[in-house]
Structure 1
Amino acid sequence: MHDVLIIGGGLVGSSLAIALEGIGIDVGLVEAVAPQASRDVASSAATSGEPTSVFDGRNLSFAEATINALTALGVMQKLSVPGGAIERIHVSRQGDFGRSVLAASEHGRSEFGRVVVAHDFGQALEARLDELPRLTRYRPVRFVGLADSDDAGCRAVRIADGNGERVVRARLLVGADGTRSGVRDALGIGTHSHDYRQTLFVTRLRTDRAPDGTAYERLTDHGPTALLPRGDRHYGLVHGVARAEADAVAALDEAGFLARVQAAFGWRAGRFLSCGPRVAYPAIRVLADRATATRAVLVGNAVQTIHPLGAQGFNLGLRDALTLAELIDEARRQDPAADCGGAGLLAHYVGRRSEDRRRTLEFSDGLARLTANPSSLLRPLRSFGLLAIDQLPSLQAGIVAGALGYRADVPALCRPPALRA
């Protein structure tokens, strides 16, 4: 019997396993990818036969709080490339006047965070997981469903590999298996979704000027065009288009795609010269009706999948995982026999996560809806809003705190080392 069984070895699930190692409890991690394959392509979709890669060429924007935590967990040190520093955030909207530029140096920081390629992060997580002596890794294994248990103090879980099915038991079941969470479905937890009717094209982009530490968000009626400064002299590109245009954009050759993005973005980052392979996915918000069930909890995209505008998704999911690990640690410090799947601990988890989740969801969804609304009546309001952010330190402070990852009650590992006591 495990104390904690995590379904999903992707970004958040792997990070949670690493955070729990230091507590000294028995942890199992169910992963869909075989050991060797996971060094190249890892997956959070431990519930399906065909893993969906999360350790691919996408670009992850790590807030300062996320970097603090991943450094404390020994993951950032495993990166082969340190990532690109975000020293400034430049926001503008096509068709509106005004723009806002936030500079980390004006807020006592050298950077807001870093841009890390998902594939590189996956290799760093894998290297760190290899060092955990107490972790039991089930791979390649898929989650099948829940099993009946005659022990009210545990969850019985059905998993399967090439040799057939078996049952694994745990005091606490964690669903970290992504947007299409099989754990969530098995627990009978419903969802509410909103389709933004946008398709996002993700790739790397090279310009005639090397990135200078500026992250750009160029907003349009059909979605954002974001350029994130990577550590390899490329930008990470996210280009949003109306869903009806997605097939036509996907069919463009490289020159045609670059011309389209240049027209949407402008010339502030220079001339666009080349791009890597493009991956497209729909922008759909999916929110679980609740985060917990009896002896079970959802974290990361399994409980909230949000619009990538503002780059909040992984940062929010990591704070889910770290808060859970922190509460288990606190309970075990008070009582070594404490039940990590008990109703009281899970209720405390829901309370701890509520404000951060609410504020981050409101920011992400509100920004996505407001900036994509083509109404001419909103243009002067948006423009004055951008100008106000540039001019009002009090307004900047809240935005900067969010960009750094310090919304509401954050886990101790997210704070700077001197403030963790």
Structure 2
Amino acid sequence: MPVAAPSSPNSAGSNAHAALHDVLIVGGGLVGASLAIALDRIGVDVGLVEATGAGTLPAVFDERNLSFAEATVNALTALGVMQKLRAATGAIERIHISRSGDFGRSVLDAARYGRSEFGRVVVARDFGEALEARLVELPRLTRYRPARFVGLDGDDGTFRAVRVAADGAEHVLRARLLVAADGTRSGVREALGIGSQEHDYQQSLFVTRVRGTRAPDGTAYERLTAHGPTALLPRGDRHYGLIHGVARDQTDAVASLDDAAFLARVQDAFGWRAGRLLACGTRSVYPAIRVLARNIVAPRAVLVGNAAQTLHPIGAQGFNLGLRDALTLAELIEQARARGTDDCGADELLAAYAQRRREDRDRTLAFSDGLARLTANDAPLLRPLRSLGLFATDRMPSLQAALVGGAMGYRGDVPMLCRGSASLERQA
């Protein structure tokens, strides 16, 4: 079987035609592209398998609004990505949480913690363009595009052989470490024989941008209902990014609404905290489903991002968690290389990765899933408990601090880049 050649390599040297990479990443979306950048900065030979061709962004880079925690902003700045953003981003200075039908609310204010903001709101399309602008600068990266993962072709204990389809034929790529960054329905995860647990929340999430009579003032709103969240995120273009959850059996009816009727529905669910909603952009809709891989490592393979765990978007934890997956992996590889070990897929390294990701992953999954299930349960006996919880969170500094730490991306063993450090050497 022939060895695949890159359609548009970043470098013209012999590396561009190498059959064996240190790391082969399948999936050029948010997490996969970020990982490629993180690995290139420490001198790792990376191959990136992308489903879309040159000049085309993956579908994930659409009009979705991404909430970047402070830790994520720190890391993407160190990687040179935030500097590539051409569109304005929106600062999250406050987080306002309430639930329809319950008393009480919780307001988290960054100023109370000595910070100007908790993070930034970035449109996925703008982020995709910034990642692409950074990817083309990488001297060691080899990009295979358009190419599609087909399956595995054996493993002799020293590398993974991976079959990809490109140019109407199948080809083989080899890597000391294979990284699955190919999303919720990961073909790599399936080929590795790693099972998953799935929970369908029976909700659909409509995503768009809206404009109201009041411009965003730095407040991110999370209005919880039995049918899912309605969130307004402060963008940098005087619009709000909207996520509006509806019961799954209402999806078609809501999708058929014209803009005026859709805005009236959102206004009824959200209230008037942002004033009257006047206009909205193109709407997209996604199912709310949690998919959790039973393992995140296999021999010479690792899962990151949505391939490892796909979360309910409540609390905006998904991409932030996936990026910490990628940065932890890159940090461990950097540490191993500093000790003179160049094998990126060594068993010891992958065991350390699984151990380091455990606390952050478990706590973030528990928070996201617990909040989604609790707020969606409309049982009358739970209403006073939820109200008491919101009331207590708003008045107890210790509870607020726990929420704030998670919202800013500081859970578990946080990668150094998330703390604002540009390299391990700079930490020394």
* TM-score normalised by length of structure 1: 0.95
CA–CA distance in structure 1, aligned partners of residues 145 and 247 of structure 2: 38
Q: What's 1:203 paired with?
A: 208
Can you give the 5+ residue segments of structure 1 that lack an aligned partner in the other structure?
Answer: 43-52
**AA at the equivalent of 1:281:** Y
CA–CA distance in structure 1, aligned partners of residues 232 and 81 of structure 2: 25
CA–CA distance in structure 2, aligned partners of residues 199 and 126 of structure 1: 30
Trace 1:7-406 onto structure 2 (pairs within 5 A): 7-37=26-56, 41-42=57-58, 53-149=59-155, 151-335=156-340, 337-406=341-410
CA contact (8 A) 1:88 1:112 kept: yes
1:82 Cα offset (Å) = 3.5
CA–CA distance in structure 1, aligned partners of residues 420 and 330 of structure 2: 18
SS class of match (2:80)? coil
1:163 Cα offset (Å) = 3.8
1:81 Cα offset (Å) = 1.9
CA contact (8 A) 1:207 1:274 kept: yes
**AA at the equivalent of 1:346:** L
CA–CA distance in structure 1, aligned partners of residues 291 and 79 of structure 2: 29
Kindly indicate whether residue 416 of structure 2 is the aligned counterpart of residue 409 of structure 1: no
**AA at the equivalent of 1:2:** H
Q: What's 2:23 paired with?
A: 4
* TM-score normalised by length of structure 2: 0.94
CA contact (8 A) 2:84 2:134 kept: yes
CA–CA distance in structure 1, aligned partners of residues 44 and 354 of structure 2: 22
**AA at the equivalent of 1:66:** T
**AA at the equivalent of 1:13:** G
1:273 Cα offset (Å) = 0.3
**AA at the equivalent of 1:319:** R
1:148 Cα offset (Å) = 2.4
SS class of match (2:360)? helix
Q: Deviations over 1:91-125 (max 9, x none)?
A: 00000011111100001100000000000000000
Q: Deviations over 1:198-248 (max 9, x none)?
A: 000000011011100000000001100000000000000000000111110
SS class of match (1:270)? coil
1:160 Cα offset (Å) = 1.1
CA contact (8 A) 1:173 1:295 kept: yes
Q: Deviations over 1:277-300 (max 9, x none)?
A: 111111000000100111000000
CA–CA distance in structure 1, aligned partners of residues 241 and 168 of structure 2: 41
CA contact (8 A) 2:78 2:420 kept: no
CA contact (8 A) 1:413 1:420 kept: no
CA contact (8 A) 1:92 1:218 kept: yes
1:36 Cα offset (Å) = 1.3
CA contact (8 A) 1:201 1:238 kept: yes
CA–CA distance in structure 1, aligned partners of residues 300 and 314 of structure 2: 33
Q: What's 1:47 paired with?
A: none
SS class of match (1:148)? strand
CA–CA distance in structure 2, aligned partners of residues 19 and 66 of structure 1: 13
1:306 Cα offset (Å) = 0.4
1:420 Cα offset (Å) = 4.5
SS class of match (2:220)? strand
1:388 Cα offset (Å) = 0.6
CA–CA distance in structure 1, aligned partners of residues 406 and 266 of structure 2: 28
CA contact (8 A) 2:292 2:308 kept: yes
SS class of match (1:410)? coil
SS class of match (1:114)? strand
CA–CA distance in structure 2, aligned partners of residues 76 and 330 of structure 1: 25
CA–CA distance in structure 2, aligned partners of residues 82 and 355 of structure 1: 34
Give the aligned length. Answer: 406
CA–CA distance in structure 2, aligned partners of residues 298 and 13 of structure 1: 10
CA–CA distance in structure 2, aligned partners of residues 338 and 348 of structure 1: 15
CA–CA distance in structure 1, aligned partners of residues 427 and 211 of structure 2: 39
CA distance 1:73–1:396, change in 2 (3 Å):
same
Q: What's 1:49 paired with?
A: none
CA–CA distance in structure 1, aligned partners of residues 139 and 108 of structure 2: 43
SS class of match (2:183)? coil
1:25 Cα offset (Å) = 1.7
CA–CA distance in structure 2, aligned partners of residues 82 and 316 of structure 1: 23
CA–CA distance in structure 1, aligned partners of residues 314 and 349 of structure 2: 32
**AA at the equivalent of 2:229:** P
**AA at the equivalent of 2:65:** N
CA distance 1:231–1:341, change in 2 (3 Å):
same
CA–CA distance in structure 2, aligned partners of residues 379 and 342 of structure 1: 50
SS class of match (1:127)? helix
SS class of match (1:169)? strand
CA–CA distance in structure 2, aligned partners of residues 238 and 198 of structure 1: 12
1:6 Cα offset (Å) = 0.1
